[in-house]
Amino acid sequence: MTNISYSKEVPVVTSTDVLVIGGGPAGFAAAVASARNGAKTMLIETTGTLGGMATSGLVGPFMTCYDNDAEEQIVKGIFEELVVRAEQKGGAIHPSKIKGLNSYASYYYRSHQHVTPYQSEIIAVTMDEMALEAGVDILFYTRVCDCVVKDGKIDYVVVAMKEGLRAIKANIYIDCTGDADVAYFAGVDFCLGDKETGAMQPATLFFEVGNIDREKYIGELEAHKHELDNNFRNCFSWYVDEARKNGDWHIPRNELGNYEQNIPGRFKINTTRVIGIDGTKSEDLTRAHIECRKQVQEILNFMKKYIPGCENVQLIQVAPVIGVRETRHIVGMYELTDHDILNRAIFDDAICTFGYAVDVHAPDGSGGVFATVDKYYTIPYRCLVPKGCDNLLVAGRSISGSSYAAASFRVMPCCMALGQAAGTAAAMVSKEGKRPIDVDIKALQQKLVEQGAVIKKN
């Protein structure tokens, strides 16, 4: 690769107490929490929509916010407020009303009770409202592209705006990019994918369909209900097997992942799959998106030809952003491990509780691992604090954790809980002129609980 030397003065566009980079589930919650706790807060986002995978990615439903026994809701706070407000708009169904093994959960039962069906467009509007009401300064169409680091701290982040390169200064930065981009630009150590192999879970492009004869469609699933959620035999796998024999199915997946929204007969489809993708590389993302768009058409043709009730199925929309399950995991003050996830780890500096299964989509497309946790586990604050940068927090799927552990905490309710914790901590230390690592943990935990978070002690 040939290098060039490039020098340019970059205007400082603004300064703020807390700068949140990335407006997905983690970034949305981080910005709202930071602003509500008194910090001047700016949020920058590459697209024109808050919500990330929940909106631009069309991913849904929100995976369970309950413990693994489906007895207690353990993710609340900003997540709960978002769901309640979206439900009031007619755009969601509260998870307390949803059991497993039904159309809202793609007929899964294990770890899929109390999912949250929603309309992505309503979630986006509700997030806008909550962020603006909290006093967050939102800047869309703005991508971070570098950091200026001085004495172990980020002095400025450099962003690409329509106007050109600009710099933003903050006391505390929160990396919610999903790929730990800010941490990477700041020189923080990380692991890309699995620590031993470097392999990463496959990418998926969600899309939405409608105009289905719901009675026929659901009737077919109900007729096979006794077979479903058994060793990854799931929705319409019997037709996928037939289509593969006939040369009508070439996707490295054995089922049709389909999640009904709160509009009867409108489904989010989670079935496309591209393996061998590095989500930190534009070339790989481009290849994946093109391949997945091709797969969307194959899936539509399959549905029309094989599935009862889908003779006139219509494509409503395809996500403009591809879903990436795994890229960088930062090296933080503590690495959450598979042992922690599976053995109900309770940490003194816990900032949230979670209970979703370890859901590994095999990097080679051969299947995966689905291991349920022991009721729930907690995540320590130290996982959000990277080594080597004194004014940075990381929230979302790129926190410090093993690849196996991340297969549980990567889902959106947990990312929102992590974001709420990061935003609250950032506001606290910004006011006090401290480093994130020096936050008063007991005071942080108290604030989080007062603001709706669930932090289990045993």
Instruction: Render pLDDT for 232-246 as a digit per residue (tens, 0 to 9).
Output: 568 999 999 999 999
- At residue 27, the pLDDT reads 98
Q: What is the pTM of this model?
A: 0.97
- Residue-wise pLDDT for 31-89, tens only, equals 999 999 999 999 999 999 999 999 999 999 999 999 999 999 999 999 999 999 999 99
Q: Is residue 4 part of a domain?
A: no
Choosing from 324, 354, 372, the residue where a domain stops is: 324
Q: 6 lies in a domain? A: no
**Residue 422 pLDDT:** 98
Token pair 């609250």 in the structure block, residue: 424
Residue 458 in domain: no
On whether both 317 and 428 belong to a single domain, the answer is no
Asked if residue 135 has pLDDT above 80, the reply is: yes
The C-alpha atoms of residue 127 and residue 265 are separated, in whole angstroms, by 25
Q: Which two tokens stand for residue 356?
A: 């979703």
Token pair in block for residue 353? 């509780």
Same domain, 191 and 208: no
Identity (one letter) of the amino acid at 329?
A: H
**What pLDDT is attached to residue 364?**
77
Q: Note if the bond before 61 is cis, omega within 30 degrees.
A: yes
Cα–Cα dist 250/272, whole Å: 10
Report pLDDT for 363.
80
Same domain assignment for residues 41 and 164: yes
CB 116 within 8 A of CB 259: no
pLDDT at 230: 59
Domain boundary among 324, 345, 371: 324
Residues 6+ apart with CB under 8 A from 62: 54, 79, 83, 95, 115, 116, 118, 411, 412, 413
Decide if 258 is inside a domain.
yes
| CB atoms closer than 10 angstroms to residue 94 | 15
Tally the C-alpha atoms within 13 A of residue 248's C-alpha that lie toward its C-beta.
Answer: 15
First to last CA, the chain: 53
Question: Quick one: pLDDT at residue 442?
Answer: 98
How distant, in Å, are the alpha carbons of 58, 103, 261, 355 from that of 92?
14, 14, 8, 21
403-430: average pLDDT: 97
Q: What is the mean pLDDT of residues 373-381?
A: 96
Question: Do 211 and 96 share a structural domain?
Answer: no
Asked if residue 177 lies in contact with residue 391, where contact means CB atoms within 8 angstroms, the answer is no
Strand pairing partners for 359?
370
Q: Is the pLDDT of residue 231 over 70?
A: no
* Residue 443 in this model has a pLDDT that exceeds 90: yes
Q: For 304-331, what is the mean pLDDT?
A: 98
pLDDT tens figures, 176-221:
999 999 999 999 999 999 999 999 999 999 999 999 999 999 999 9
Long-range CB pairs of 363-370 (<8 Å, 24+ gap) are: 363/193, 363/194, 363/197, 363/199, 363/200, 363/201, 363/202, 363/275, 363/276, 364/199, 364/275, 365/202, 365/252, 365/253, 365/273, 365/275, 366/252, 367/232, 367/254, 368/232, 369/407, 370/110, 370/111, 370/232
What is the residue whose two structure tokens read 């369909």? 209
pLDDT of 367 over the 80 cut: no
pLDDT, mean over the chain:
96
Report the pLDDT value the prediction gives residue 300, as an integer from 0 to 100: 98
The CATH number linked to 178 is 3.50.50.60
Place of tokens 């990396």: 175
Q: For the chain, what is the domain count?
A: 2
Residue-range definition of the domain harbouring residue 265: 203-324
Burial class (CB in 10 A: 0-12, 13-18, 19+), 283: exposed
Strand partners, 14: 168
Same domain for 319 and 230: yes
In terms of domains, do 372 and 314 share one? no
Question: Could you tell me if 336 and 444 lie in one domain?
Answer: yes
pLDDT at 232: 54
In a shared domain, residues 338 and 307: no
Rounded Cα distance, 21 and 2, in Å: 30
Query: Is the domain of 150 the same as that of 181?
Result: yes
Clarify whether residues 19 and 154 are in a common domain. Answer: yes
Banded model confidence at residue 228, pLDDT cuts 50, 70, 90:
confident
pLDDT at res. 165: 97
The conformation of residue 385, written as its DSSP 8-state character, comes to S
Kindly state the tokens that stand for 188. 């923080």
The per-residue pLDDT for 110 is 87
* Amino acid of residue 173: Y
Domain boundary among 324, 358, 377: 324
- 305 with 248, same domain? yes
What mean pLDDT is predicted for residues 375-388?
Answer: 98
Q: Are 176 and 186 in a shared domain?
A: yes
- Distance of alpha carbon 269 from alpha carbon 455, whole angstroms: 33
